[in-house]
Amino acid sequence: MLSKLEIWSCKNLKVLPALGRLEFLEDLYLSGLYSVSAIMGLEVLGVLKNGDSSAAPVIAFPNLKKLTIWNMKHWEEWVIKTTVNITLMPLLQTLSIWNCPMLKSLPCQILSSSLREMIIDSCPYLEVSYLPPFLEKLELENDAGSLSISLPIQNGLHTNLKSLAIRILPHFRNWRFLEDLNLSGLDSVSAIMGLEVLGVLKNGDSSAAPVIAFPNLKKLYIWNMIHWEEWVIKTIVNITLMPRLQTLDICSAALVIAFPNLKKLTIGDMKHWEEWVIKTTVNITLMPLLQELFIYDCPMLKSLPCQILSSSLREMIIDSCPYLEVSYLPPFLEKLELENDAGSLSISLPIQNGLHTNLKSLTIRYSPHSTLPQGLSQLKALQTLQVSDCESLTCMSNELQHLTSLQKLKIYGCPILGPHCHHIAIKK
């Protein structure tokens, strides 16, 4: 019972045998058949002869689950013409087509309801008119033909695709059930996730209803974006982006400098984002010009990659990230704002070498803690300290007396602390 068959590098083979009759075949791999210009015709299926319309309905490749076709440079047509009822590959789950530069179309019988995974790579002339209705995973590499320009969505909706690895940016409006998105090698893209990509607004239409973009996305991978400069979403209406995102992986494993011109990075309202880890086996410089980092409403985020907290960073705002652990402050940071529960920074300021000589402004708002963070005495360059709306704050730290460069001290909206300070002032 033959279950797997590989035919490759048969450069003089012009006609394939009647493979469709192999009723136990589950995995078929075809590669390097340079003399083949048409495959999967009726002769290959092995079910009809001379188009005999009196033949009974048949099933070709009845148990085939995986089909891989690779490096067929002269393959132009994949058309199945018959006047009788034929069922083709009813159990096919995975279809991979690689480096078929002349292929123009896929037969409708292939794009059936059984297909769950499809990979198209280097098929520039391939026209795909619709996606299989229950497709869950789609990968597009290099020039994938019409799919690189537009994703054909029937009835305005595709409800099953959960994973998309892609090298182009179509409109994603209808991908409501997408859970995994991989963007890689978009060398000409300087901005991603703008309104056009989200597909939710047009020309800044303020009459549009509030929307949710990528409502079920859990994993976002962005790789090798050498010209990506900004990630900014500007809109005059209410929009929620990736409310269920858990993993954001931004990496450039092959490049020396990633995001070479990025100066400002804002990440907010990522309710399920837990990890921000950058793993690489080569020397890499990440965001060498980054000056401003704003992170807010990321209640599950646990850490920041060390590459982000670099010497270029001048301003950092952390708001409502209760589990965030920051092991050190960027060496030349000048302005720091902590709002609500900012994780470890709300408890202690990590000062390397026992001193931070550049931080000039520190703002603490809505802190849930009864004390200010430890380490204030090491901020020898601090000129402005603002503490506001900290309803649980009960006392001021004795470390303030060591702030020799302090010029402005603002304390307001701290109802427990206020009477205490007043009592001390009268006593003195």
Per-residue pLDDT, 299? 94
Interacting residues of 208 by C-beta distance below 8 A, sequence separation 6+: 200, 201, 237
> What one-letter code names the amino acid at 46?
G
Interacting residues of 337 by C-beta distance below 8 A, sequence separation 6+: 316, 317, 318, 319, 362, 363, 364, 365
User: What is the C-alpha to C-alpha distance for residues 40 and 15, in angstroms, rounded to an integer?
Assistant: 10
Query: Among residues 291, 313, 335, which one ends one of the domains?
Result: 313
Q: Read off φ and ψ for residue 43, nearest 5 degrees.
A: -65, -40
Residue 370 lies in a domain: yes
- Which is more confidently placed, 203 or 405? 405
Per-residue pLDDT, 54? 47
**In angstroms, how far is CA 281 from the centroid of its own chain?**
21
Say yes or no: 290 and 324 in one domain.
Answer: no
Say yes or no: 119 and 37 in one domain.
Answer: yes
Say yes or no: 79 and 167 in one domain.
Answer: yes
CA-derived radius of gyration, the chain: 30
User: What is the C-alpha to C-alpha distance for residues 197 and 118, in angstroms, rounded to an integer?
Assistant: 22
Residue range of the domain that includes 286: 179-193+211-313
Say yes or no: 4 and 132 in one domain.
Answer: yes
Compute the average pLDDT of residues 313-321.
Answer: 96
Q: What is the DSSP pairing of strand 180-184 with strand 163-166?
A: parallel
pLDDT in tens, 16-57: 888 888 889 999 999 988 877 666 666 676 655 544 544 555
Q: Which two tokens stand for residue 161?
A: 């695709």
pLDDT in tens, 213-245: 778 888 887 776 666 666 655 555 567 777 888
Say yes or no: 40 and 163 in one domain.
Answer: yes
Residue 281 lies in a domain: yes
Please report how many Cα atoms fall inside a 13 Å half-sphere around the Cα of residue 419, on the Cβ side.
3
Q: Could you tell me where the DSSP H helices lie in 202-347?
A: none
Residue 201 lies in a domain: no
User: What is the C-alpha to C-alpha distance for residues 22 and 46, in angstroms, rounded to an integer?
Assistant: 9
Say yes or no: 38 and 162 in one domain.
Answer: yes
Query: Among residues 289, 313, 337, which one ends one of the domains?
Result: 313
Per-residue pLDDT, 301? 94
Residue 204 lies in a domain: no
pLDDT in tens, 364-378: 999 999 999 998 988
Residue 287 lies in a domain: yes
Q: What is the DSSP pairing of strand 117-121 with strand 264-268?
A: unpaired
User: What is the C-alpha to C-alpha distance for residues 330 and 120, in angstroms, rounded to an integer?
Assistant: 44
Task: Decide if 122 contacts 142 (C-beta within 8 A).
Answer: yes
Per-residue pLDDT, 28? 93
First to last CA, the chain: 96
Residue 200 lies in a domain: no
Query: Among residues 281, 313, 345, which one ends one of the domains?
Result: 313
Helix (H) or strand (E) segment spanning residue 335: strand 335-339
User: What is the C-alpha to C-alpha distance for residues 28 and 26, in angstroms, rounded to an integer?
Assistant: 7
User: What is the C-alpha to C-alpha distance for residues 88 and 104, in angstroms, rounded to an integer?
Assistant: 19
Under the banding of pLDDT at 50, 70 and 90, the label for residue 346 is very high
Number of domains in the chain: 3
- Which is more confidently placed, 116 or 243? 116
Say yes or no: 21 and 66 in one domain.
Answer: yes
**Number of helical H runs and strand E runs in the chain:** 3, 23
Say yes or no: 80 and 142 in one domain.
Answer: yes
Q: If you average pLDDT over every residue of the chain, what do you get?
A: 79
Flag whether pLDDT at 335 surpasses 60. Answer: yes
Compute the average pLDDT of residues 137-150.
Answer: 83
Q: Minimum mean pLDDT among 9-18, 181-190, 283-292, 340-349: which range?
A: 181-190
Residue 205 lies in a domain: no
User: What is the C-alpha to C-alpha distance for residues 375 and 161, in angstroms, rounded to an integer?
Assistant: 50
Q: How far is CA 236 from CA 209, 210, 264, 378, in A?
A: 11, 10, 21, 43
Task: Decide if 83 contacts 111 (C-beta within 8 A).
Answer: no
Q: Minimum mean pLDDT among 92-101, 118-127, 250-259: which range?
A: 250-259
User: What is the C-alpha to C-alpha distance for residues 264 and 146, in angstroms, rounded to an integer?
Assistant: 35
Task: Decide if 136 contacts 158 (C-beta within 8 A).
Answer: no
Say yes or no: 163 and 183 in one domain.
Answer: no
Say yes or no: 29 and 164 in one domain.
Answer: yes
Flag whether pLDDT at 171 surpasses 80. Answer: no
Per-residue pLDDT, 151? 75
Residue 203 lies in a domain: no
Say yes or no: 228 and 270 in one domain.
Answer: yes
Say yes or no: 2 and 111 in one domain.
Answer: yes
